[in-house]
Amino acid sequence: MNRRGIGFGFCAIAAFLFSVRYVTGALYSISGIGVSGSYGPGTFQDDWLNSTGTLPLILSIISLIIGVVYLVGAETENK
């Protein structure tokens, strides 16, 4: 596998991990429908998105950086 393919793979993993955070937050919000005060301004960010933790966000940022480094390396290698 060449460097472009590896870079694209890491960028795809980063996009997946970034979306997992929001899907998990949405699932948490669905499970809390009967909870008193579960909806309102800022509820998704404050309650549900923060309950997913920061690990998916951190891993997606790391994966994106690795992917961009591989893509830039592949482009500079050809010149």
Per-residue pLDDT tens listing for the chain (79 residues) = 798 999 999 999 999 999 998 888 888 777 766 565 556 656 777 777 777 888 999 999 999 999 999 999 998 986 7
37 is a domain residue: no
Give domain status of residue 73, yes or no: yes
Q: Is residue 18 part of a domain?
A: yes
- For 8, the domain range is 3-29+44-77
Residue 25, domain member (yes or no) = yes
Is residue 38 situated within a structural domain?
no
Q: What is the DSSP string of the chain?
A: --HHHHHHHHHHHHHHHHHHHHHHHHHHHHHTTTSTT--STTHIIIIIIHHT-SHHHHHHHHHHHHHHHHHHHHHHHT-
User: What pLDDT does residue 77 have?
Assistant: 84
Is residue 35 one of the residues assigned to a domain?
A: no
**Structural domains in the chain (count):** 1
Q: What was the pLDDT predicted at 26?
A: 81
